């Protein structure tokens, strides 16, 4: 009952936001007609020389690898402290993890750029800090789910907390730690592309520069490179996640990993730091926070609306698509494979590529951002819906089938209803992720608070950056607290 109410409320909010956004966009939405023109200008794609592509791919991957490493080390340490530490340490670490999660990575990147100059380090730190919160939460959950038997046995042996963790917990959770890190690597790759817009290095920067000088042929070529890179990374990390690393290859992989990190440190150029003057002086630029007359509240509302509308639109596609992509609902194997394939392909298109496409087709503004995020959301949500539908206990559906209900009646009478709590929690997860993405897309041209962030950065109004940081932090944190409570209640 509660779950259904939450679902209706989310849908209502989503469509209110959508209506409001399109209404405000009004006449400027005539851009759909530009689509043909844009395609003409982007064709044929103008790929840079292979050497240049490889250099940029290398830089991008190096930054992403280091950011993921930072998040694994920091998030891992906090997760261990949160699960095996004494009461105070554990509590403090949980707070730190939640705070890190709510830190908006792009705002952090802007701040770090002021301190360390343009380059790889700000991106590594910003993404690393934010993902540490994400990774840490998942790591802590994995530790909590580990079998407690061996832990008790080692406590009985007289082992200390850290000793017990290393011997009794780490071997159990190592596979899920690896798979979480790889999953985060995929996400960081997408984010790093967008950070290119605020002055990181790699493909995102090349893409931003090409579009900046209206060179659509080159810009779209970089978008294709990014898409292929994301797809390849996702396919290989997915394969490792599913099959694990065979024991006999562990040593090779470990050595390879260490070499890769060494290479990444050199290739990314994180060490080329340009310390911009006196840090204390720089700090005073950021304080006290101010809006400097900008309508940050309205902008923030737009960003939230984009996230809400994109989630609702995405769900509209994802619920039917994800349902038939679940093996226990799909009418036949053909539908199952086709819908699974669609979900997989849509999910592997990076948000930046979607955003660039929609911005060029529909013109800059929140509507384009909404559409881009909605497409992305339908992929991710579709997968989440399919996976959680497959996990549902089969008995209610079987009962309906046995009294002669049709396939459709069974779906609406049993499967869909059982799935509502899962759907709500997946929607909330998607909303959370869309809220972060909506901020990022604002920088690319999607309007909302991201636009002001870019402006503040250009005009060097760092006190406004601080204000934006605080506002986003507060919104993301409250959404997360709300979502956690709601999910706990409807379970």
Partner 1 sequence: MAAESPVVSLRAVTKMFGSARALDEVELEVRRGEVVVLLGRSGAGKSTLLRHVAGLQQATSGGLTVLGTEVSTARERELRRLRRRIGFVFQGFQLVGRLSALENACSGALGRLAGPRLGLATYPRAVRRLAAEQLDRVGLSAQAYQRADTLSGGEQQRVAIARALVQQPQILLADEPVAALDPSSATTVLELLRGIAREEQLTVICSLHQVAPALSFATRVVGLRSGRVFSDQQVSEVDEETLARVYGAAE
Q: Which chain residues interact with partner 1 by CB under 8 A?
A: 147, 149-150, 152-160, 162-168, 170-172, 174
Contacts 24+ apart (CB under 8 A), 176-182: 176/142, 177/72, 177/76, 177/139, 177/142, 178/240, 178/241, 178/244, 178/245, 179/240, 179/241, 180/135, 180/138, 180/139, 180/142, 181/68, 181/71, 181/72, 181/135, 182/237, 182/240, 182/241
- Please state the closest distance from residue 207 (CB atom) to partner 1, in A: 42
Identify the DSSP state of 245.
Answer: -
Which of residues 165 and 222 has its CB atom nearest to partner 1 in the complex?
A: 165
Which of residues 150 and 289 has its CB atom nearest to partner 1 in the complex?
A: 150
- Please state the closest distance from residue 166 (CB atom) to partner 1, in A: 4
- Please state the closest distance from residue 73 (CB atom) to partner 1, in A: 16
- Please state the closest distance from residue 238 (CB atom) to partner 1, in A: 23
Which of residues 160 and 297 has its CB atom nearest to partner 1 in the complex?
A: 160
Q: Are 441 and 489 in contact (CB under 8 A)?
A: no
Cα atoms found within 13 Å of the Cα of residue 313, Cβ hemisphere only: 23
Identify the DSSP state of 213.
Answer: T
- Please state the closest distance from residue 254 (CB atom) to partner 1, in A: 11
Dist CA 43 CA 52 (whole Å): 20
Which of residues 172 and 282 has its CB atom nearest to partner 1 in the complex?
A: 172
Helix (H, G, I), strand (E, B) or coil at 147: coil
Dist CA 299 CA 286 (whole Å): 20
Which of residues 90 and 342 has its CB atom nearest to partner 1 in the complex?
A: 90
- Please state the closest distance from residue 149 (CB atom) to partner 1, in A: 4
Under 8 Å CB-to-CB from 100, ≥6 apart: which residues? 74, 75, 78, 129, 130, 132, 133, 136
Q: Are 463 and 289 in contact (CB under 8 A)?
A: yes
Contacts 24+ apart (CB under 8 A), 174-177: 175/244, 176/142, 177/72, 177/76, 177/139, 177/142
Which of residues 37 and 160 has its CB atom nearest to partner 1 in the complex?
A: 160
Which of residues 152 and 274 has its CB atom nearest to partner 1 in the complex?
A: 152
- Please state the closest distance from residue 176 (CB atom) to partner 1, in A: 12
Which of residues 160 and 257 has its CB atom nearest to partner 1 in the complex?
A: 160
- Please state the closest distance from residue 155 (CB atom) to partner 1, in A: 7
């Amino acid at each position: 009952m509660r779950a259904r109410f939450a679902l209706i409320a989310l849908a209502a909010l989503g469509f209110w936001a959508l209506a409001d956004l399109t209404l405000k966009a009004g006449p400027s939405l005539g851009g759909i007609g530009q689509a043909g023109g844009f395609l003409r200008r982007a064709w044929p794609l103008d790929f840079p020389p292979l050497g240049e592509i490889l250099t940029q791919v290398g830089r991008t991957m190096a930054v992403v690898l280091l950011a993921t490493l930072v998040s694994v080390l920091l998030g891992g340490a906090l997760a261990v402290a949160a699960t095996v530490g004494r009461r105070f340490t554990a509590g403090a670490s949980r707070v730190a993890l939640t705070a890190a999660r709510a830190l908006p990575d792009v705002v952090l990147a802007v701040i770090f750029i002021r301190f360390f100059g343009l380059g790889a380090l700000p991106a590594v730190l910003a993404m690393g800090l934010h993902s540490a919160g994400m990774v840490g939460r998942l790591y802590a959950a994995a530790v909590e789910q580990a079998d407690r038997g061996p832990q008790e046995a080692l406590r009985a042996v007289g082992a200390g907390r850290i000793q017990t963790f290393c011997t009794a917990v780490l071997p159990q959770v190592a596979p899920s730690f690896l798979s979480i890190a790889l999953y985060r690597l995929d996400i960081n790759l997408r984010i790093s592309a967008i950070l290119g817009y605020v002055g990181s290095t790699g493909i995102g920067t090349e893409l931003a520069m090409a579009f900046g000088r209206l060179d659509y042929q080159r810009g779209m070529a970089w978008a294709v490179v990014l898409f292929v890179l994301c797809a390849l990374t996702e396919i290989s990390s997915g394969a490792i996640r599913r099959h694990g690393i065979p024991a006999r290859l562990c040593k090779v992989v470990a050595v390879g990993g260490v070499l890769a990190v060494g290479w990444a440190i050199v290739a990314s150029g994180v060490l080329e730091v340009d310390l911009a003057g006196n840090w204390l002086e720089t700090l005073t630029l950021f304080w006290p926070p101010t809006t400097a007359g900008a309508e940050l509240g309205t902008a923030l509302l737009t960003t939230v609306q984009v996230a809400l509308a994109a989630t609702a639109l995405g769900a509209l596609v994802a619920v039917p698509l994800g349902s038939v992509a679940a093996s226990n609902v799909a009418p036949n194997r053909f539908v199952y494979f086709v819908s699974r394939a669609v979900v997989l392909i849509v999910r592997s298109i990076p948000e930046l590529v979607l955003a660039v496409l929609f911005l060029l087709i529909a013109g800059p503004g929140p509507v384009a951002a909404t559409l881009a995020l909605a497409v992305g959301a339908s992929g991710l949500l579709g997968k989440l819906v399919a996976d959680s539908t497959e996990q549902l206990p089969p008995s209610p559906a079987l009962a309906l089938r046995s009294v002669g209900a049709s396939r459709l009646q069974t779906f609406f009478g049993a499967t869909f209803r059982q799935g509502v709590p899962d759907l709500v929690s997946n929607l909330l997860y998607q909303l959370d992720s869309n809220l972060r993405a909506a901020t990022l897309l604002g920088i690319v041209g999607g309007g909302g608070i991201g636009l002001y962030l870019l402006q503040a950065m250009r005009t060097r109004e760092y006190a406004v950056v601080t204000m934006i940081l605080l506002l986003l932090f507060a919104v993301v944190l409250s959404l997360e607290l709300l979502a956690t409570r709601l999910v706990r209640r409807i379970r």
